[in-house]
Amino acid sequence: MPVIIVEDDKILRFLHALLDPACPPARLAALADFLSVDLADFDGWLAEVRGFIGALYPADVRMVATEEDLVAHLPDAEIIVLQDLPIGVPHLGRAPKLKGIIKFGTDTRTIDRTACDLFKVDLKTVRRAVNCAVAEHAITLMLAVGRKIVETHGALDIAALRALGYKPALYDAEHISGANWARVSGLKGLYGATLGALGLGEVGREVASRAKAMGMRVLYHQRTRAPRAIEAESDATYVSFDGLLRRADFLSIHLPLTDATRGMIDAAAFARMRDGAVLVNISRAPIVERAALLDALQSGRLGGAGLDVHFEEPGSADEPLKQFRNVVLSPHIAVGNRAYAIFDMEATVAAMAEMISRER
């Protein structure tokens, strides 16, 4: 059986199920449950994929969580699938059987391309559909908050609009169009607005590309400035954290949760944001300080928030964020339907199957 080394990411665990007949039953059951939202026949899907990957199944799949684990298995490895772990000359020199590396994503900065060429190791990338889905949701939240879609849902009559505090009245059709006869004030659009991307990693770049298509200016901040090529591709300008807060009309969070990012958007950060700015979080809830968010909304300085990640999941029926009409809350659905994860896995194993069939 080919030996496949896979970085232990929660989505990449599907490779364990697809390729290794020794995958534990508990993992198979958990993965089947995860897909059950949109895929009824998990076993049928496994069989279908195994039918087109040839010599890739069955395989000995070894899940590794650290660089040390990776190094320990290199002598046997024929294919390596990575998300964040680094690999270069010291690693490839220990992997005499290695045919190829799959980067689960498109950012190859942790992989030494020159070393891959030197050791004649194929390198392929997989653009993650789940990242595209998350980026779509970030834009959706910006539009939903900015255009007051949830707040005004169903308010098509005079009484309903007045109950929301608006003063609806038809315009003089002889002289002007009838658009927004509901007289909903404070609507915000994306065209010409400034996106503040907190993080320009793989998800951040997907958000930036969509924001650019919508006519937004894109600023970004992260701990380490991105390479100029990535900035050019995203048409994104690097600014300080303070500059991002002060200039963003829509602040969108795309950072992992670490000790450094926990509570990053706190009371001081909200105080520096421009009046009426909208916060969007499709990353991790604790990056935003909860009490500070509630205070910023209560004061009226924050123009609204769109949140797909929450401080408790499942949340409580009396979640205080529900009281604000300018807050849109979705139940952690940014990754979209399970077709995105299925597509990513099928694209990954198809690339692996090509690699395993070639001679070293």
Which among 284, 290, 301, 338 is annotated as catalytic? 284
284 is annotated as an active-site residue: yes
The alpha helices in 119-227, defined as continuous H runs, are 129-146, 158-163, 202-213
Which among 94, 246, 332, 338 is annotated as catalytic? 332
Q: Report the alpha-carbon distance of residue 92 to residue 71 in Å, rounded.
A: 9
Torsion sign (Cα): 84, 88, 94, 97: positive
DSSP letters, 330-359, are: --S-TT-STHHHHHHHHHHHHHHHHHHTS-
The alpha helices in the chain, defined as continuous H runs, are 13-19, 25-35, 42-50, 67-73, 89-92, 113-118, 129-146, 158-163, 202-213, 228-234, 241-247, 267-272, 290-299, 339-356
Q: Residue 246 in 3-state DSSP?
A: helix
137 is annotated as an active-site residue: no
Q: Of 299, 308, 259, 256, whose CA–CA distance to 279 is shortest?
A: 308
Residue for token digits 């059986």?
Answer: 1
Q: Report the alpha-carbon distance of residue 307 to residue 301 in Å, rounded.
A: 17
Which among 68, 174, 313, 359 is annotated as catalytic? 313
Q: Residue 129 in 3-state DSSP?
A: helix
175 is annotated as an active-site residue: no
Q: Which residues have a catalytic role annotated?
A: 284, 313, 332
